[in-house]
Amino acid sequence: MALSLRATTTKTTALSSFLCRAFSSSSLNSETDLRSAPFLTQNPLTLRRDTTDKSIQWVFLGCPGVGKGTYASRLSNLLAVPHIATGDLVREELNSSGPLASQLKEIVNQGKLVSDEIIINLLSKRLEAGEAKGETGFILDGFPRTVRQAEILEGVTDIDLVVNLKLREEALLAKCLGRRICSECGGNYNIACIDIKGDNGKPGMYMAPLLPPPHCATKLIQRSDDTEEVVRVRLRIYNEMSQPVEDFYRHRGKLLEFELPGGIPESWPKLLQALNLEEHEIKQSAAA
């Protein structure tokens, strides 16, 4: 399907009045549940958006290890919209001394999903903080991950586009296990060298490692949920809980499927092409 993806959508939806109502009237939670949740100091997702906002509202879907963070972050830099990764919000919270930290640590380290209530509350706070700084638009990464989250989001705002990144199954586990983060600057790297040989008419695939610069190389850490056992659980849960989200957006004509052909050098230009974006044009117009 050809989707027109230029970032020109005019937003007319004011989210603030709808989000809380959408969340509290959704089937799994009564208002009582929300009020009794100790971490909810305010209504979840009480967002306000300028009705003249012309920024993009995109979602990135895809299995653990597919590269959602990498490509969402590159597009965020290119298009000057915030990249909001709910996994990062969860990790910030679990590394804090907040009341949810130990509960979140346990859930994440088992590869399970955090409750919709918690995730919506974290996302709401992040969007509000961004709004206070004048941010408009977003590229969401890791949200929605359940059909209920998608329904709530769809009920309150108009998502322009959902990019569904796909990568061959054999590469996903290796990508998660090879992931490394610089504990000082937060830079993301990958030490895995993926070299899948062509077989039975299926082409091979090569993904070079993304090695850290020398000043990060001695400070690399691994996410505690990037162990083989936990990654397998995350992949299973993605198939059960998040693949239906792909169908949700497919039925609404918003899903752009993008099969990664290899590493960043091959995939990035092809992704821009699929999105009908020209990197040099955007940079020129930003500089003008």
Ligand X SMILES: Nc1ncnc2c1ncn2[C@@H]1O[C@H](COP(=O)(O)OP(=O)(O)O)[C@@H](O)[C@H]1O
User: Quick one: which of 19, 47, 119, 207 contacts ligand X (CB under 6 A)?
Assistant: 119
User: Quick one: which of 142, 212, 262, 263 contacts ligand X (CB under 6 A)?
Assistant: 142
Alpha carbons 207 and 154: distance in angstroms, whole number: 35
Backbone angles phi, psi at 199, to 5 degrees: -155, 135
* β-sheet bridge partners, residue 84: 140
CA 96 to mean position of chain CA atoms: 21
State yes or no: residue 64 binds ligand X (CB under 6 A).
Answer: yes
Closest-CB residue for ligand X?
87
Segment near ligand X (CB under 6 A), from 111-119, 152-160, 180-188, 204-212?
A: 111-119
State yes or no: residue 61 binds ligand X (CB under 6 A).
Answer: no
252 annotated active-site: no
48 annotated active-site: no
- Grouping H, G, I as helix, E, B as strand and the rest as coil, residue 196 is strand
Nearest to 162 by CA among 180, 189, 147, 144: 144
State yes or no: residue 159 binds ligand X (CB under 6 A).
Answer: no
232 annotated active-site: no
Q: Specify the DSSP element, H or E, that contains 284.
A: helix 279-287
Cα separation of the two ends of the chain: 33
State yes or no: residue 86 binds ligand X (CB under 6 A).
Answer: yes
* β-sheet bridge partners, residue 207: 194
State yes or no: residue 178 binds ligand X (CB under 6 A).
Answer: no
Could you list the active site residues?
A: 68, 145, 179, 223, 234
Task: Give the binding site for ligand X (CB under 6 A).
Answer: 64, 86-87, 90, 107-108, 111-114, 119, 142-143, 145, 149, 225, 234
